[in-house]
Amino acid sequence: MLDFPRWRVWMLNTLIIVGVAFAIPSLLPTAMRAQLAQFVPTPTINLGLDLAGGSHILLEADTSQLAEARLEALEDSVRTALRRANPQIVIADVSRSEGELSFNVTDMSKVDAAREVILPLISNTMGTRDWDIGVNNGNRIVLSPVSSGDETALDQAMDTAKDVIDRRINALGTLEPTIIRQGENRIVVQVPGLEDPEALKALIGKTAKLEFKLVDEQADPDQTAQGKARVGSQVLPYPDNPTGLPYIAVRRLGGISGDKLVKADPTFDPQTNEPAVTIQFDSEGGQKFARMTQQNVNKLFAIVLDGQVISAPQIREPIFGGVSQISGSFTTESANALSISLRSGALPVDLTIVEERSVGPDLGADSIRRGVLAAVIGTTAILVLMFLVYGRFGMYANAALVINVLMILGVMSFANATLTLPGIAGFVLTIGAAVDANVLINERIREELKRGRRVVQAIEFGYKEASRAIFDANSTNVIAAVLLFIFGSGPIRGFAVVLMIGIVTSVFTAVTITRMWVSLWVKRTRPTELTI
Amino acid sequence: MKLLKLVRDDTNIDFLKWRVWAFAISLVLMAASVGLVATKGLNFGVDFIGGQMIRATFTQSATAPVTELRETVGSLGYGDPTIQRFGAENQVSIRMKLPEGADKNPELANAMAVKITNKLKADHPDVRIDGVDSVSGKVSEELFGKGVLALLAAMAGVSIYIWFRFEWQFGVGAIWSLVHDVTLTFGLFSLTGWEFDLNIIAALLTIIGYSLNDTVVIYDRIRENLMKFRKMEMASLLNLSVNETLSRTVMTSVSISLPLIVLVLFGPDVIFGFSMAMAFGIVVGTYSSIYQAAPILIWLKVGSHSFVPTDEGTGSKAERIGADFGAQP
């Protein structure tokens, strides 16, 4: 029990040194850490936003809208493919409802041919289908979504959305954002040190889907005002419409989308000197844009951003070269924000902010300063008390406690974990448990001495008998921590993580390490009397 | 060197003498807590009911102009704000319900925050906005549900563990004292109107962890004494166990209270409620281990027979444990 072979002493000492070493970078001032980082890796603890200040934004994707967008894209590709098929396959009575796309193949004999054309469109690279195809009443083709297809689509859309957000925030400059997917359809964006998140929110909340559509110039303004459009047209909001009517009718087909951009920059309109955005298509987009403008000279086309028309200029001449200018009622800031959004690509899915927290850096700094002060005073008080009550054994416990704190910090640094306010609660609990372990041991040694056992035997018994309660107490905490991690949300998990790390290091330092020191002392001095 | 003794060696207090009274008082306090929560309710933060919270400090003023704020913010047309001082006298939190339709269009929530902060800055040049929290109804429901679930799961999980390691009566005793501690803490928050948010759940979990730790230590000693003194009457045996572990109980609770008292006095204002909850929990948790968890064992008819080997000869749980850890019979 009190016999510690040399190799164990070495092993334990190595563990302590490694654990403490990992804590060092987190304790150094930033400047020194940066210097150190040139020679060795310096993993550090991140401070949560509640402590360090900054913004936390939780975005949620609208899954129904995604399904609708997929259906729309499917309709587009099916229509195009059937029109381009040789010979052309004519379809009619196209309908999208309840997530399904269905249409009639006018010529009964071409149903099989249509099927052949559609099949490649609905198969994915994995060799399975994203849509089921069926035929009703001989000539009505029905395409219905496969659930795994929906999931994959959502998954891909969220990955893309995450990348897009990353690009957009990076365009803002030297922020150090953390962007992580959460659950199926959520993304968490955390930006430390950002005081005013307005610019950030304006940037990441926008879908930035740009489209160019032809204006339906035959539309009846009265009908448009009521939101009604002719077959093949749709009514879109147009807040800045010079006619005063906040709506405009546009043709559904024959437009192009603005997702193939290589450049987007804020600029000023040379004629009006108002802020505007210039965009440059890639070569494929440029050709499409040239074709569209060529075929529709003198007509109006609508520039649609996120389903809302921002302006509807006239095509005066065909535009070759793929460069175009978007004007609308922009301010310098909004032109800048739009060009960043366009450059980083459209979000594949609409995201809504469902939770937002920002903590001013002053408050955060104040919290840390006072938190550290309180921790130092509190810990010192414990150390003094332990020494006064247990003497030598109290000093062992104290040294173990300090190592424990450093090791928790070390493990957290190594795991790059984040320390939050609830995490501090976890810290307090584990320090409490560590102190308690030593109190239990030392009280038990006292008791055994009182019962008349000799010193070495009393120490041995003290550790042995106290271990049982320590084991049970820590096991219950482990169980609680694991359950909290499984069922809890963000902050509660932060608590659970610190608790789990802390329990392991507390038992290690408060029991194993102190026992090593005590046994080395016993071996060296062979005490016959013990003040405890 | 003369060492400090917090508890005299010959201490022998008849704790269990007051067990019926203590239990009755606890029951009354628990009923009062439940009643308070049912009638007055808890002052839930935006974490749990959704809405928007703006925290602000009036850096040049001694106290925050709460009444005035209530009027000016109320006049902005977003409904009546809940305004509270927290921590220092010149810090306030202003809570608002999210405007109608904000679930669909977060711009509305945004606009509200901007309007309120602009108004504050215009009226009070010394104001410093410390933070804005905006939580939608959907997310707050989730946070609430998950918080409650985590709390219940943790309580149930540890009680089952204790049932396995000791006997079922000990499991019941443990969960009862946890329910006791949590209920009283809820009562405290209802009574004082301190804001109840996610951080308080973390504090509650700490209380549970601490109280349980305390209970386990006393239970461990009860188990040991049950095997040692087979003929002793239960109440005396519990008294003996509590007294034997008393110096440990005092030492540990004093040690843990020290940093918490410092935290309440000097800690960051944002965590005032959190620190108070934990400090309160230490007191209640220590009390409940002695006056709830222990006497319940008498009423649940625990005795030395609980740890006697059964006819099948499988050996009682405690003795197997004793063997595992090398305990002396």
Q: How many CB atoms lie within 10 A of CB A222?
A: 9
CA nearest to B234, candidates B300, B183, B282? B300
Residue intervals of chain B classified under CATH 1.20.1640.10 are 15-40+141-325
Q: What is the mean pLDDT of residues B33-61?
A: 90
CA angle A120, A62, B106 (to 5 degrees): 150
Q: Which single residue is written with the structure tokens 């198969």?
A: A123
Chain A interface includes B146 (CB < 8 A): yes
Q: Which single residue is written with the structure tokens 């560590």?
A: A434
CA nearest to A124, candidates A96, A152, A159? A152
* H or E element that contains A449: helix A421-450
pLDDT at A30: 75
pLDDT at B171: 92
List of chain A residues whose C-beta atoms are within 8 Å of the C-beta of residue B322: 468
Angstroms from B137 CA to nearest CA on chain A = 8
List of chain B residues whose C-beta atoms are within 8 Å of the C-beta of residue A467: 325
Q: Looking at chain B from residue 226 to 245, which residues have their Cβ under 8 Å from any Cβ of chain A?
A: 244-245
Of B3, B143, B219, the CB nearest to A389: B3
Indicate the CATH number of B15-40+141-325 among 3.30.565.10, 3.30.460.10, 3.40.50.300, 1.20.1640.10. 1.20.1640.10
pLDDT at B259: 81
Token code pair at residue A341: 């959004």
CA A27 to chain centroid, in Å, comes to: 27
Token code pair at residue B262: 């410092």
Tell me the C-alpha distance between A509 and A517, whole Å. Answer: 11
Chain A interface includes B180 (CB < 8 A): no
Q: Answer yes or no: is pLDDT of B319 > 50.
A: no
Chain A interface includes B111 (CB < 8 A): no
Strand partners, B131: A359, B55
Chain A interface includes B40 (CB < 8 A): no
pLDDT digits (tens, 9 = 90+) for B22-42: 999 999 999 999 999 999 999
CA nearest to B317, candidates B328, B325, B309? B309
User: Hey, what domains does chain A have and what are their CATH numbers?
Assistant: 6-53+360-525 (1.20.1640.10), 63-150 (3.90.1070), 160-357 (3.30.1360.200)
Q: For an interface test with A, give the residue of B206, B253, B328 to mutate (most A CBs within 10 A).
A: B206
Q: Is the pTM of this model over 0.80?
A: no
Of B154, B258, B278, the CB nearest to A425: B278
Burial A69-84 (b: 16+ CB within 10 A, else e): bbbeebbeebeeebee
pLDDT at A163: 87
Angstroms from B187 CA to nearest CA on chain A = 21
Class in CATH terms, B51-135: alpha beta
pLDDT digits (tens, 9 = 90+) for B190-205: 999 888 988 888 888 8
Q: Answer yes or no: is pLDDT of B315 > 50.
A: no
Q: What is the mean pLDDT of residues B306-316?
A: 50
pLDDT at B186: 95
A202 in Cβ contact with A337 (< 8 Å): yes
Strand partners, A325: A278
Torsion on CA atoms A374, A377, A379, A383, rounded to nearest 10: -170
List of chain A residues whose C-beta atoms are within 8 Å of the C-beta of residue B167: none
Burial A239-270 (b: 16+ CB within 10 A, else e): eeeeeeeebbbbbeeebbebbbbeebebbbbe
Of A473, A482, A495, the CB nearest to B205: A495
Are the Cβ atoms of B110 and A488 closer than 8 angstroms?
A: no
Q: For an interface test with B, give the residue of A443, A449, A467, A511 to mutate (most B CBs within 10 A).
A: A443
Q: How many CB pairs under 8 A join A and B?
A: 250
The interface predicted TM-score (ipTM) is 0.82
Token code pair at residue B191: 């009574």
Angstroms from A517 CA to nearest CA on chain B = 20
pLDDT at A195: 65
CA nearest to A282, candidates A336, A341, A340, A323? A323
* Range name among A289-303, B14-28, B228-242 with the lowest pLDDT average: A289-303
Q: Answer yes or no: is pLDDT of B326 > 60.
A: no
Q: Answer yes or no: is pLDDT of B209 > 80.
A: yes
Of A422, A433, A495, the CB nearest to B213: A433
A299 in Cβ contact with A215 (< 8 Å): yes
Residue intervals of chain B classified under CATH 3.30.70.3400 are 51-135
Token code pair at residue A389: 């009550």
Q: Which single residue is written with the structure tokens 């006064």?
A: A388
Torsion on CA atoms A408, A412, A415, A417, rounded to nearest 10: 150
List of chain A residues whose C-beta atoms are within 8 Å of the C-beta of residue B217: 436, 440, 469, 473
The low-confidence residues of chain A, meaning pLDDT below 70, are 1-2, 125-126, 174, 195-196, 363-364
Are the Cβ atoms of B205 and A358 closer than 8 angstroms?
A: no
pLDDT digits (tens, 9 = 90+) for B113-163: 888 888 888 888 888 888 888 888 888 888 889 888 988 998 999 889 999
Of B147, B221, B244, the CB nearest to A492: B147
Bridge-based pairing state of the strands B195-196 and B43-44: parallel
List of chain B residues whose C-beta atoms are within 8 Å of the C-beta of residue A353: 106, 109, 134, 136
